[in-house]
A and B are shown apart, each in its own frame.
Chain A
Amino acid sequence: MDPATLIAPSSPLGYPAPYWFLVLFKVLGFVLHSVPMNLWYAGIIIALLLRAFRNENGRIFSDRLMKQMPIIIALGVNLGIVPLLFVQVAYYKAFYPATILMAWPWLAIIALLTVAYYGVYAYTSSLKGIAFKDSRWPLWAGWISAIFFVIIGFLFVNGFSLMANLSAWPEIWKNTSVAGAPLGTALNTDDNSLWPRWLMMFGLAIMTTAAYSFFDCAFLADKESLAYKRWINGFAFKLYTIGMLWFALFGLWYSIGTWSNQAKQVMFATPTIILTAATALSPGLIWLVLLSRFHKERDSKPAALFIAICQFLVLGLNGISRQIVQNADIGIYFDVTTEQVNIQWSPMILFLLLFVAGLFTIIWLLNKAIVEARKSTA
């Protein structure tokens, strides 16, 4: 069966904005979502391991990260709406069939996320002494959350890799349907790219957690001891090194070992090869900065800000590269860039104005709250 025959016809409504606008917000939204998502994906496991190792400074970072985790998750879940929105506008022909073929695992994300999120709240409530004092089950709740978030990551990678793996649809459909209607029980586990992609994402998440530990210490941990700040310099470097090696290992497997010929042709051709190289090598810059801070006694705000911006760029480069790979794979069957466009000018302008106004309101409100809170505790 030719998978091309399974592609839905184009929407008569057309794209409501040019393709570049849709993909810009899809990638930007994904990168913004990636920051908090990385922190819960690897951060919770790291925090729980640090607690288990009984290192005093490790315990401080673990508690700091986990106390922030409910806010991180809330922001991450909401920031995740943007890429989800724009992927459905521009990639609907691939997104809906792929997710329907694996409907039950896809839907399970909602249940897993609910349990994982409440698990984090149970853990932090215990840390803050609000509830579950002297009980061990918040620790179990923390581990359940950590495991569930890893499973959620696995399911997401399944969904988005199946979206670009159209050649697998006919077989999956044939094996998991009743009278031509999918039962929605499939996973994309036969796809070679699934495992390295999932593991590579975990490497990125370790790096983001390491970068965040450094940023948190410089900007949000005024009250912590000098010993803690010295410890974080070393910890961030070591953790980033592990993450970077992990990322390099599985990234190589993913790109060299599993990319389609179309993806390789695009990613290794000039000028895209510059992007490919930048995506692969960019973590090295952060690693060098962290290395330079390794034996330093104190935190450094400029270095922390630089690292945060660079890590955001690392995530951004990954997002852009994977978008190009996705387009190359999907492009075998249809071209997402050639859809009819009927620009909704006034809704688009209003959205952009609201977006900017909303951003300013958030910055202004947070700034006001932090300044007043500092005054009140001074």
Chain B
Amino acid sequence: MHYPWWYVPFLTSPMLIAIVSVLHIVVSHYAVGGGMFLAFETRFAYKSGNNNYLDYLHRHAWFFILVTVVYGAITGVGIWWTIGLASPLATETLIHTFVFAWAMEYVFFILEIVSAFVFFYFWGKLTEKTHLLAANIYAFSAWMSLFIITGITAYMLNPGAIPSDQSMWAGFFNPQLIPQVLARTGGAFLLTSLYVFLHASFKVKDKDLRNLIEKRSAKPALWGAIFVTLGGIGWYLMLPESAKAALAAASVLNVLMVLIFALTAAVFALMYFGPYKNPGWLSPGFAILFFICGFAAISTGEYVREAVRKPYIIYNDVLGNQIRAREIPGLIKIGYLEGGRWTYAWMKSNYPQVFTGENIDEKLLFELPEPDQLQIGAVLFQYHCNDCHALREGYSPVGHMIRGWTREMIKSTVMHPEKAAFFMPPFAGTPEEAEILTEFLEKLAPAHPAGMYYGKQQ
């Protein structure tokens, strides 16, 4: 309401954040874990004098740079782009709270880039000590960037002491920080092994070398699975009550939670009994299967992490529909249309006749012709509901959700969505606006599906 709402038909604009985030996360975890893998394994290869393995690591470093420095870096910027477009108020709040955390992360990004290039482009031209130092600087910087960004995203779920203490640190060192850092570090280890398997299965023909890679990469993956599990448990324990309730109430989240743990357990078992205990399993098919499992586990994990935060983007502060929680009482009093900058300007430009002075007279809304009332209902829907609901078709479409509802049912839900489902934000408008929105939704709702038998004639 402070900003224009970007209308993305079918998907809804916040879903673009989800898509870009998943595309990024799958690589950003590799950027962290891969750095540690290269640092650790290059040291091992130097120490053991295994030039064959060293040569493989050089080739893997090229693959690593192509994937992380290009795709990883750009999709990371892509998240910035999409959150600013689809969630401007939350982004405004986050950036005013954490600008220096992001600035610190940026310092580590630059260190990552420079050390990664020194590590790769100066390969064979440096002493072992300097070469490993570059790798260690990369690994440390990459993990620090994970640590910093996790502090910010964890804050969105549980802001810790921020409501009473507005310092950045109070928000950064929140109860979710350590569990999420642990889970993400584990995820980085796990995913990296899957990337190494994928790369080695296609690029390494020497069986002994492949077995060595397989065995050595299995160990961090096993530790990674343990960290993910421990982090996941910590994440659950530190969830706010509403998030735990959301997790318990939504069947899709139940299924996804089971799926994450089942996939992690399956990867753990396959990793332990396969590559770790009995090297020789590595083939492109096996690596692709593993990778798909890892991708599925991490993307469902991210989905659940985001979903349980509803109705907030920043817990107890910014709601999903770009309203600050503290603004709701004021909006209920003066009206959403008047309280929102862009809705106010839209009303002033299109319906000056409903204004008394500079204020909207809500009663006058009902004197407008019906098509105009429906148009205002559409505006209310766009700005108040479209962040989570597509219109007729698409992501969580409201049309299908209210199919066959009576006017009373719709109005009751519009008036008190937070009572109908606690993970919806409350209606931040006047009763007149609720009436207008009800009218719009009633026209939208399809009829009850035909042909359903309830034991008697309907």
Contact = CB atoms under 8 A, between A and B. Distances in A.
Most buried by B among A84, A99, A180: A180
A342 B3 contact: no
A5 B342 CA distance: 8
B345 A6 contact: yes
B378 interface: yes
Contact of B130 (A6, A121, A368): A368
Contact of A344 (B78, B80, B100): B100
A7 B341 contact: yes
B39 interface: no
A102 B154 CA distance: 30
Given A6-B345, A100-B85, A372-B125, A344 B382 contact: no
Interface in A344-378: 344, 346-348, 350-351, 354-355, 358, 361-362, 365-366, 368-369, 372-373, 376-377
Contacts of A7: 341
A221 interface: no
A160 to B, nearest CB: 14
Interface string B102-113: 111011111101
Contacts of A347: 100-101, 104, 168-169
Given A13-B93, A89-B99, A92-B92, A78 B84 contact: no
B97 interface: yes
Report the interface size class on chain B.
Answer: 35 or more
A367 to B, nearest CB: 11
A8 B117 contact: no
Contact of A5 (B13, B93, B134, B345): B345
B375 interface: yes
A85 B114 contact: no
B99 A78 contact: no
Contact of A372 (B126, B349, B379): B126
B116 to A, nearest CB: 8
A17 B125 CA distance: 44
Report the interface size class on chain A.
Answer: 35 or more
B70 interface: yes
A156 B216 CA distance: 46
A112 to B, nearest CB: 10
Contact of B344 (A5, A80, A85, A183): A5
B422 interface: no
A259 interface: no
A1 B85 contact: no
A85 B102 contact: yes
A184 B6 contact: yes
A369 B169 contact: no
B77 interface: yes
A11 B125 contact: no
A271 interface: no
A100 B6 contact: yes
A75 B349 contact: no
The majority secondary structure among interface residues of chain A is: helix
Given A92-B92, A183-B7, A78 B109 contact: yes
A138 interface: no
A8 B7 contact: no
B349 A1 contact: yes
A74 B81 contact: no
A108 to B, nearest CB: 10
A101 B95 CA distance: 21
Interface in B364-385: 375, 378-379, 381-383
Given A96-B88, A344-B100, A103 B375 contact: no
B208 to A, nearest CB: 26
Contact of A376 (B92, B125, B168, B341): B125
A361 to B, nearest CB: 6
Contact of A181 (B4, B85, B115, B375): B4
Contacts of A95: 84
Interface stretch (A170-178, A190-198, A285-293): A170-178
A78 B107 CA distance: 9
Contact of A354 (B107, B115, B121, B133): B107
A80 to B, nearest CB: 8
B95 A376 contact: no
Interface string A317-335: 0000000000000000000
B97 A13 contact: yes
Interface in A45-89: 70-71, 74-75, 77-82, 84-86, 88-89
A117 B137 CA distance: 25
A7 B344 CA distance: 11
B264 interface: no
Contact of B74 (A9, A110, A130, A342): A110
Contact of A366 (B93, B101, B109, B118): B118
Contact of A182 (B7, B115, B127): B7
B315 interface: no
A118 B73 CA distance: 12
Nearest to B107: A358
23 contacts: A9-B2, A16-B96, A74-B70, A78-B113, A85-B99, A86-B99, A88-B92, A92-B95, A96-B3, A97-B3, A100-B85, A110-B20, A110-B78, A181-B7, A184-B85, A344-B168, A346-B169, A358-B111, A361-B111, A362-B110, A362-B111, A366-B118, A369-B118
Interface of A: 1, 5-9, 11, 13-17, 25, 70-71, 74-75, 77-82, 84-86, 88-89, 92, 95-97, 99-101, 103, 106-107, 109-110, 113-114, 117-118, 121, 130, 170, 173-174, 177-184, 342, 344, 346-348, 350-351, 354-355, 358, 361-362, 365-366, 368-369, 372-373, 376-377
Given A16-B168, A114-B70, A366-B114, 7 more contacts: A103-B13, A110-B78, A180-B342, A182-B5, A184-B8, A358-B110, A361-B137
Interface of B: 2-8, 13, 16, 20, 62, 66, 69-71, 73-75, 77-78, 80-82, 84-85, 88, 91-93, 95-97, 99-104, 106-111, 113-115, 117-118, 121-122, 124-127, 130, 133-134, 137, 166-169, 341-346, 348-349, 375, 378-379, 381-383, 386
